Structure 1
Amino acid sequence: MDPLSALRDFTVRGDLSKIVKIGDEFRFGNDYIFPSSASTAYRSKQGTLYTLETLIYYINNHHVKHTEYLQNARTQKIPSVTLPDRKPLLEYLQGRVSSNDAIESIVPQNSKVGDVVSMDIEAYRPEEPGFNGVRIETNDGVGGNEGLENGVIEKIDYVALERPLKDRESLLECRSRDFYGVLVAATKREEERQRLESQQRKDGLVANRRLMGSDDRGGFWKEGEELGYESTPIPKMHMKGSKVGEGVPIILVPSASQTLITMYNVKEFLEDGVFISTDVKMKQMKGVAKPDCVTVQKKFSRERVVTAYEVRDKPSALKAEDWDRVVAVFVLGKEWQFKDWPFKDHVEIFNKIIGFFMRFEDDSVESAKLVKQWNVKIISISKNKRHQDRAAALEVWDRLEEFVRSRSHT
């Protein structure tokens, strides 16, 4: 019996406790002995065969959280089972499925099993070259060898019986494709990415120069048409007691690092729909000064619309006419954030500016207790499920654009 089948048999029978490691080998009760480093017939999705030691450690620790399991396996210097392989491997070892695509046939059908050598168990030496597994036969007739005396070993050379299915070169082969074609495609994608980033920077600069009052058709941004995009209006924000604000709308974010959205990560969140913590971004930008202004656009929607916004975190640097362009603010949840703002209270602030409060979905209610008293939209994201960030970013954009449209008609 091969190592994988033996482990499955003991798992189904509930006899895992009978598998004992002695030195560099595993003893399966009085039935089998295999080297701990023996390769099994279970191939990972990464293409390598799992060793017996890896599978035994996993089946004994499958209930442990994956991150903790990886850390423990690394500490004990045992190769780990990857996350995609965990469930199908567990189902097979526990007998819930009879087979799966990851299992390879090591012993060909109708092939002759290796030579059988009778020997005393004390005379067995695991370091014997060319030996990949042994089976201990007892006098109870296990395996149909009733004629063998008690304490002899049927020695099977599993390495000699293995047949290669793929080699390194065949794994690298792709039908109708070559690496030159892949390289060309990757180069084109990189050039397109750089072109788009350059275009977006240009769009932001043009938006800053073009004021709504210079357009006789209602303030539409003509430059967008020149660049091949559909133009979108930059709204006029009517604010009581001040002139009409014209130009690129402004979004304010807190300068405090304890908030989720800052000048460091706002671009990735609003443009790409991906949340990266401020700490991580600060490490990536080590030695680079924090920008005073960041231009963001809603570029991951299907609409070919250029909507440029300026993001700033220094309200004290805004001029009176700049405040007329402020359309949104990410709130910290602290009163002092609004000190010296040109508004009389929170009611006026969040009547003329839409507020967003970003929080982790499992944070305590107390963290948003004060914010719930304000007219602010609470946006929750997961600490670990990054694929959910896009939905949160889209919710910010949808609410922001709806607010801007409503303000442009007042």
Structure 2
Amino acid sequence: MTHTPFQLLHATHLAGLRPSLIFNNSPSRAATDALHASFILFPDPAHPSRTLKFATSDPSGFKDYNVGTLVHAYDCKDQSFGDYLKMTGGDGRMAFVDRKEMVAVLGGKVGEGMADGERGNAAKRSLEETAAGSSTAGGAGLDTATAPGRKKPRISLAPEEVEFIRRVKERERVIGDVSDPMVVGAGSKDFSNIIELSRKRIADLHRKVDPKTKGVAPSSSSSSRPDPRRGATTQARPTPHAKSSRHKTSDAPIPIIIVPSAPTARLTLWNVKQFLADTTYIPTQKFIDDGVPKPTQLTFERTLRSGHPGAGVAGFPRTYLVVDNADGVRMEDWPRVVGAFVTGQTWQFSRWKYRDPMLLFNKVKGFCLKYVDEAPPGDVDKWPVTKLDVNRNTRHNDYTAVNKFWEGVDALILGEKRGVFFE
């Protein structure tokens, strides 16, 4: 009898076991999570001493999800949906209702011998019975599909999930109203002039190309106008004349600093300028609570103190670019990366040019910002990174941490990367 990965996961769960995650078809190389594994091994129900191997991209037998997404959602089943979204990339994410159904099935609420279609319907009934009669926190909830004539129940959400949904709705922007008769039922529209307008726009752009930037790769955003959804503190994406991770000019290359994208990190795009330029640490959560949108990237000017070793060096960098998405750094611009703040998790480097932490920190100066009373997170102690300590409630230690950061970056710029920036 052939078993689907979903059926095997169910049997493994009931046996109190966990699938094995491996890299590159090598059982000796264990992966930390399913999204970064190459293959997943399940115990064979017919022969417990054997295993059945599936690639993470194989169909799981549960809806349209692959094996990697299924097992990762299973591993995160005890976490809130909000935390699950923060840990999961867009390509490996399971929908809220599907995740609830999966947990209901694997939790033993549905018979093991059911067919796929029966299992899905039984899981839905189990969810409806659990949620019926319960109110959602703060009046928020999601309706589930029910049989005709039955009252629709509401699925209860944890307080942090309600808050996450509230913040998402606050950032929604209406781009069209289907109730407007000008949008619906207005008959066919002629959009043929769009082609001509596009041709004129492209021709205008070609005429305005600066000879100095000829041959430079185009920006990922074709417009430099600010996003109306963002506040006044948010910087617009740079124009082709600005220096960014996607634009490098030969006369004055800008050093790049990478910070974590997770809002739970100590240093993010919200508070990095205040910390590195103004020597004042402000927790990220304060910006989130105040409704400040996160910039897509930012630049800041650094003031060199009197007697600084770079003050007398022509072309020593004063301007720095900060990003939290290494995908935006071209391969040829990686020599400009001078610092990276880490969270202690290896998956942070999964899409970087240097995925091996030891190789990465041989090319880039690594830092970990943490509170003085907490232990270094994850694998930080295993890596050659500099730990920067700040106090939770007092700011007298901020200057020392910032000065320690710049000492490391300056040594790299004046040493190994001297030829990148001013020689």
TM over 0.5, shorter chain: no
Which has the higher relative contact order, 1 or 2, with Cα contacts under 8 A spaced 6 or more apart? 1
Larger Rg: 1
For Structure 1 versus Structure 2, the TM-score category normalised by the shorter chain is: 0.3 to 0.5
